[in-house]
Structure 1
Amino acid sequence: MHRHHDDEVHEHDRGLSHDLPVLARRRMIGLMAGVGLIPLAGCTSEDGTSAAGSSKGSGTSASPAECATIPDETAGPFPGDGSNGVNVLKESGVVRSDITKSFGDSAGGTAEGVPLTVTLTVVDAASGCGTPKEGAAVYIWHCDRAGDYSLYSEGVTDENYLRGVQETDGLGQVTFTSIFPGCYAGRWPHIHFEVYGSLADATAATSITNTSQLAFPKDVCDTVYATDGYDESVRNLTSLSLETDGIFSDGYDQQLAAMKGSVADGYTATLTVPV
């Protein structure tokens, strides 16, 4: 039986306390944009319809005037990048596409849940999102379906699943095989990611260029959380919204994934990441 997170909201809320300086900077940028000092338009959005088919999210192209760098967000208290204790980035095996299993000397567990494929396309914001960033690297991590983070949460400190690094290809893309994350108390369902200038930088855990988060559309969350194993997520999601989430409340257009798929076949989440 999965443990409840109501008694541990303070642990996850460490991420929100870390968010406040970032949120203050972003609101200042918004105010400056309002007087014409800084353009603050996101990349063009893509429309979708249903959770079983596709759902609205970030687009993949934009004109120079419509392109802005992906919003900076907190890495939260469970990054695993050496900034808060353990550093998984320097471990052999972290460069991989399938992040559902633990690797190395860890417990060797597998994260269970609705299959999810995540594709991030890293592009150059200065060129209007039109130029892929080949040879960059992306590290992603997220909680399991119980809302727990490997390396940190009780019961999974010996696991390192749902964490991985990849180098971007000629299209600026990285693709990870994972599971749909759960919803823990106090936070909208999300995936963390860091962008590095190169794979060497990522595996040395140095020179992060961007830190942000990917958000999931509500209709897809509702559909996934109706399946076995996500019971706590149903309850936690009822008290949350993108508009009130501590991270996404000041704008999430650039961070909302475009979704396709179904519970039976698995989902794909895609997001353009201007840097």
Structure 2
Amino acid sequence: MTEHQGPAHKRNMTRRRVVIAGGAAVAAVAVGGGIAVNAFADETTGANATGSTESAESCYKLTSETTEGPYYIDADKIRQDITEDKDGIPLTLRLKVIDSETCKPLKNAAVDIWHCDALGIYSGYESLSTGGGAGTPPSGAPTDAPSGDPSGMPTGEPPSGAPGGGTGGIHEEPTDDERYLRGTWKTDNAGRVEFKTIFPGWYRGRCVHIHTKVHVDGEWTDAGYEGGHTCHTGQFYFEEEAVLASAEVEPYSTSTTERTTLTEDTIYDQSGTAGGLLKLKYRKNDIAKGVIATITVGVDPDATHDGTDDAVQPGASAPASASAS
């Protein structure tokens, strides 16, 4: 892991000033990696809503770093609505990016998100994806989706076509020109960015998730975002109650792929909001109407985390932890 730290005394003094602020800091930001209370108060009424009574120190907690996974395509779609023509439950993803030490928002950062469709297929990698449903799969996609109960957690390296590309972090070259459910947008002066997409589906070996990267110190041009470095690579996760509700809605309900739960997942570190668990708001009896997901991402803008060799992977000593991404 490579880090480029600023003057230590400068960051330490900033930290002291924020801690002295005490209650003011608490009112502005909830638990590290959690919701900024004032910014997203109307979206925190779901089962995972977090209160604002944590200590000021909690806002310094970094959001967990994870593997990039094999299916990242570098910022070639500068847009907020990444849905294209994909079917699924409408999802509004609202993010706030802050410096985990100072709690100040990071403005003009480039935020990437990418995820699979309702049946577990990634754009750009349709032939390598391991999701599937009752309908006709994409060209080249597996047609023999697993059935029955799994015999146990996988051991050793996965097959070359499985998510993870053999290691969980090795990049695969795209196999097609599709780019749905991928996009990059910049944070505003308050560190906020919003995406329109669909609720992700699932595929073999992983719970439901969204990938993300945060880039800083680059330049926004007419061609997009150039330069800078990646200060955070992570993933966002969904509570089981919402995933089970989505599974009752088409096209999710047509999936024939065995689902991995949040507690079974080998990438999610089980740390709640700091680990990327989203705050969700939706109609409990009608999730098909749409979901609003919010989270504040705490990053170290001076660090470099590209998600390829320095990612934190729970259980990394066990081969099974790299089975998918």
What is the TM-score with the length of structure 1 in the denominator? 0.68
Deviation at 1:185, TM superposition (A): 1.3
Q: Does 1:267 align with 2:303?
A: no
The equivalences for 1:17-36 within 5 A come to: none
User: Which residue of structure 1 aligns with residue 210 of structure 2?
Assistant: 191
User: Which residue of structure 2 aligns with residue 54 of structure 1?
Assistant: 46
Task: Give the whole-Å Cα distance in 2 for the aligned partners of 1:178 and 1:136.
Answer: 20
Task: Give the whole-Å Cα distance in 2 for the aligned partners of 1:258 and 1:62.
Answer: 17
The answer to whether the 8 A contact 1:190-1:215 is kept is yes
User: Which residue of structure 1 aligns with residue 6 of structure 2?
Assistant: none
The equivalences for 1:5-24 within 5 A come to: none
TM-align CA RMSD: 2.9
Q: Hey, which of these two has a bigger chunk of helix by percent? A: 1
**Pairing partner for 1:114 from 77, 81, 89:** 89
Runs of 4+ with >4 A deviation = 57-64, 232-235
CA 210–79 in structure 1, closer or farther in 2 if over 3 Å, else same:
same
Higher relative contact order (CA 8 A, sep 6+): 2
The answer to whether the 8 A contact 1:96-1:166 is kept is yes
User: Which residue of structure 2 aligns with residue 18 of structure 1?
Assistant: none
Q: Does 1:245 align with 2:238?
A: no
**Pairing partner for 2:99 from 124, 129, 137:** 124
User: Which residue of structure 2 aligns with residue 219 of structure 1?
Assistant: 241
Task: Give the whole-Å Cα distance in 2 for the aligned partners of 1:119 and 1:61.
Answer: 22
Task: Give the whole-Å Cα distance in 2 for the aligned partners of 1:126 and 1:193.
Answer: 20
* Percent of residue pairs identical: 34
Task: Give the whole-Å Cα distance in 1 for the aligned partners of 2:63 and 2:203.
Answer: 24
Deviation at 1:135, TM superposition (A): 1.4
The equivalences for 1:14-163 within 5 A come to: 43=32, 54-56=46-48, 63-67=55-59, 68-81=61-74, 89=75, 91=76, 94-101=77-84, 110-127=85-102, 129=103, 131-154=104-127, 155=138, 157-163=176-182
Gaps of 5+ in 2: 2-30, 36-44, 128-137, 140-175, 300-325
The answer to whether the 8 A contact 2:247-2:253 is kept is yes
Task: Give the whole-Å Cα distance in 1 for the aligned partners of 2:33 and 2:226.
Answer: 34
The answer to whether the 8 A contact 1:44-1:61 is kept is no
State the number of aligned residues.
209
Q: Which amino acid aligns with 2:265?
A: D
Task: Give the whole-Å Cα distance in 2 for the aligned partners of 1:59 and 1:204.
Answer: 38
Task: Give the whole-Å Cα distance in 2 for the aligned partners of 1:62 and 1:203.
Answer: 36
What is the TM-score with the length of structure 2 in the denominator? 0.58
Gaps of 5+ in 1: 1-20, 22-41, 47-52, 82-88, 102-109
CA 269–158 in structure 1, closer or farther in 2 if over 3 Å, else same:
same
Deviation at 1:124, TM superposition (A): 1.2
Task: Give the whole-Å Cα distance in 2 for the aligned partners of 1:261 and 1:220.
Answer: 9
Deviation at 1:64, TM superposition (A): 4.2
Deviation at 1:265, TM superposition (A): 2.4
Q: Which amino acid aligns with 2:298?
A: P
User: Which residue of structure 2 aligns with residue 258 of structure 1?
Assistant: 279
The answer to whether the 8 A contact 1:226-1:234 is kept is no
Task: Give the whole-Å Cα distance in 1 for the aligned partners of 2:298 and 2:54.
Answer: 10
Deviation at 1:198, TM superposition (A): 4.7
Deviation at 1:58, TM superposition (A): 6.4
Q: Which amino acid aligns with 1:248?
A: Y
Q: Choose 1 or 2 for highest CA Rg.
A: 2
